[in-house]
Structure 1
Amino acid sequence: MIALSPADRAGVDDAIAAALDRLQARAAALGDGAGALASAVAHAAGGGKRVRPALVITAYRALADGADGADGAGDAQGDARADAAVWQTAAAFELLHSAFVVHDDLIDRDLERRGEPNVAGRFRVRAGHYGAAADDAALVGDAAAVLAGDLLLFEATRLIATVDAEPAARDALLQIFDDAILVSAAGELADVENAARTDVPDTDALLGVAHDKTAAYSFEAPLLAGAALAGASAPARAALGAAAGDLGLAFQLVDDLIGTFGTRRQAGRAPGADLREAKRTPLIGFARGGDAWPQVRSAL
């Protein structure tokens, strides 16, 4: 697995912290509820492997080095500006991921993430402390998850919109980000609709949904964003996008296996959640062609 250098990790973490600190400082003036929401947002965006930032920075470093020429020379001020831009862009993709995770937990009716209460879970507990009935506490938790995801989406977009890059590169970043959000939303909706169907879509369609809900924003967009900042050629960006789509699909298939057969530690939530929710993952599509399909179908 690719990893961030200590300097790049620190740069990304600082950019994320600055965005979250800004949010918490502004929310503090709006009362206890807003402060608790901003704190939950910061908690949701904390930690993680920083996979998407690593992809942004790896693509940028590889393609920028190739564009620098033999000596790779550059002035220190320009290098510092470029580093700040790529770190801020990488931070935006981490916040985008956090936003989708918060909304995905809400869609899946999960109250845990990484073995501890997620945004909805935290706010259910908070509502219980002031005497809310169970149904009301659930509504509060769901509302908090919607709003937390919305705040993270805006912060991610704000970082992209304000990145200190050439106008053409910033326009390209906004287009990449815009496309990633739309494709991911379409993939997530298709995933939910498929779970509500009485039939099972064909495996190719399920693979398409798996690509759209994950590969677009987790692999294609981060790699293309790094390429855009590096000023990569159109053929290089096309090749990178095609490879990223395959990587993202593989990533989602592994996640489907964990969601079906993984332990609580691996999945960060109760085992077998995908089966209980009757999710029509590609795994189910492949199972349809096996001898055990009647038993699987009955269970679903």
Structure 2
Amino acid sequence: MRNLVDTAAREVLDGRIDAALGRIVARGAAHSPAAAELAAATARAARGGKRFRPELVAAAFAAWGGSPARHRAMTDVAAAVELLHAAFVVHDDVLDHDTVRRGAPNVAGEFEARGRSLGMPADARSELGVAAAVLAGDLLLHEAERTVALADLEAPARRLVLDLFDDAVHVSAAGELADIEHALAAAMPEPERLLRAAHDKTAVYSFVVPLCAGAVLGDAEETEVAALREAAAHLGLAFQLADDLVGAFGSEADAGRAAGADLREGKRTPLVALAQEGQEPELVTGALALARTGPVAVRHAQRVLDRSGARGRVRELIDDAIAAAETEGSALPPTARVLIDRIGAGIRERAL
């Protein structure tokens, strides 16, 4: 999904993000050793990854011929989008009780290790890890909003960008809560409810915010931003569905974690709900229950899901969402339509 901007532009974006993380580290170092360690862990959690969201900001800005006078402000907003994403990732790990990300300890994992070095019992170490991760996410959220607040923008443009961030936080919170309720419910929720949660968890903050923020900073017309918002929402849903396929069928290299991790963890995704609506729901349920036991059972569950037709149906949903995005964007400037096409192509390529 990267390569939406050239290498030089990417380096500028990465530099701005790293500068914001450096500020967090410097602020933490001014306090206690524990605060310094928290700040350093927070910065590590936000480094790496695909960083395609800031590229979306820059690409949309360029698609609307953004003024060089606003380039620095655009870079600030792009960095803020990545900080927002990092905050959500850190908090998501708390909600999922994860202590590892990309094969290394996350913030919670690092502070569990700190608790061990301090001689804490297991339950205290776990509590310390959760507390540190919540605080790390809070630091990133604050830095994201601070970065937008201090960007060199006129008040109307800043308000529009802050409104986008406001939507992102509220809609994503609703989506995460729905996702947890679905996971804890006695029965499998209907695919439509899972699709709604998938949209809310990802579409707004990962696609609507960066694309619309870039367009706003590029002085897009209000009607253009409205159309782009609808197109971006469809792209966000398609991306999340593709991510569900990666989580179920992808290799460790594809997913950044163990192959078939979503199946091993028993995640309730639209893919799983569609499979259980098929002709062999009991076979699907049994295969998914066994998937928790190891890689052989995961591979069996993958075959069962594939045979159920659910994988193909999710791919159809992805194609439908991308087509809807292209339709919504049909009245946009040609450069914006090209950008939507490129994003759609990248999502299709990701859909396993």
**TM-score exceeds 0.5:** yes
Question: Structure 1, unaligned stretches of length 5 or more?
Answer: 66-73
Match of 2:258 in 1: 270
Match of 2:65 in 1: 64
Instruction: Select the structure with the greater relative contact order (CA < 8 A; seq sep ≥ 6).
Output: 1
CA contact (8 A) 1:115 1:265 kept: no
Give how far 1:133 is off. 1.3
Q: 2:236 aligns with which of 230, 238, 248?
A: 248
Residue identity matched to 1:236: E
Q: 1:180 aligns with which of 159, 168, 172?
A: 168
- Alignment map for 1:1-300 (pairs within 5 Å): 1=1, 2-64=3-65, 79=68, 81-298=69-286, 299-300=288-289
Match of 1:70 in 2: none
CA contact (8 A) 1:8 1:87 kept: no
Partners of 2:252 and 2:129 in 1: how far apart? Answer: 22
Tell me the alpha carbon deviations over residues 89-130 of structure 1, each in whole angstroms, 9 at most, x when there is no partner. 000001111111111111111221111111111111121112
CA contact (8 A) 1:112 1:268 kept: no
Give how far 1:26 is off. 1.6
Query: Secondary structure of 1:64's partner?
Result: coil
Residue identity matched to 2:134: V
Give how far 1:11 is off. 2.1
CA contact (8 A) 1:111 1:121 kept: yes
Tell me the alpha carbon deviations over residues 152-196 of structure 1, each in whole angstroms, 9 at most, x when there is no partner. 011011111111111111000000000111101100110011000
Partners of 2:223 and 2:285 in 1: how far apart? Answer: 45
- Please say which of residues 276-285 and 143-152 is displaced more in the overlay: 276-285
Give how far 1:275 is off. 3.0
| Cα RMSD for the two superposed structures | 1.6
CA contact (8 A) 1:86 1:229 kept: yes
Query: Secondary structure of 2:64's partner?
Result: helix
Residue identity matched to 1:38: A
Give how far 1:286 is off. 1.0
Residue identity matched to 1:282: P
Residue identity matched to 1:162: L
CA contact (8 A) 1:53 1:222 kept: yes
Give how far 1:267 is off. 2.3
Partners of 2:203 and 2:42 in 1: how far apart? Answer: 24
Residue identity matched to 2:278: G
CA contact (8 A) 1:200 1:285 kept: yes
Partners of 1:233 and 1:47 in 2: how far apart? Answer: 34
Tell me the alpha carbon deviations over residues 198-236 of structure 1, each in whole angstroms, 9 at most, x when there is no partner. 112221121111000001100111101111111111221
Query: Secondary structure of 1:48's partner?
Result: coil
Partners of 1:213 and 1:289 in 2: how far apart? Answer: 23
- Please say which of residues 10-19 and 122-131 is displaced more in the overlay: 10-19
Partners of 2:115 and 2:79 in 1: how far apart? Answer: 31
Give how far 1:4 is off. 2.6
Partners of 2:97 and 2:103 in 1: how far apart? Answer: 15
Partners of 2:248 and 2:89 in 1: how far apart? Answer: 18
Match of 1:71 in 2: none
- Please say which of residues 148-157 and 274-283 is displaced more in the overlay: 274-283
Q: Please report the TM-score for the alignment, with normalisation by the length of structure 1.
A: 0.91
Give how far 1:52 is off. 0.3
Identity of aligned residues (%): 53
CA contact (8 A) 1:125 1:137 kept: yes
Partners of 1:122 and 1:148 in 2: how far apart? Answer: 12
Give how far 1:276 is off. 4.0
Tell me how many residue pairs correspond in the alignment: 287
Q: Please report the TM-score for the alignment, with normalisation by the length of structure 2.
A: 0.78
Give how far 1:270 is off. 3.3
Question: Structure 2, unaligned stretches of length 5 or more?
Answer: 290-352
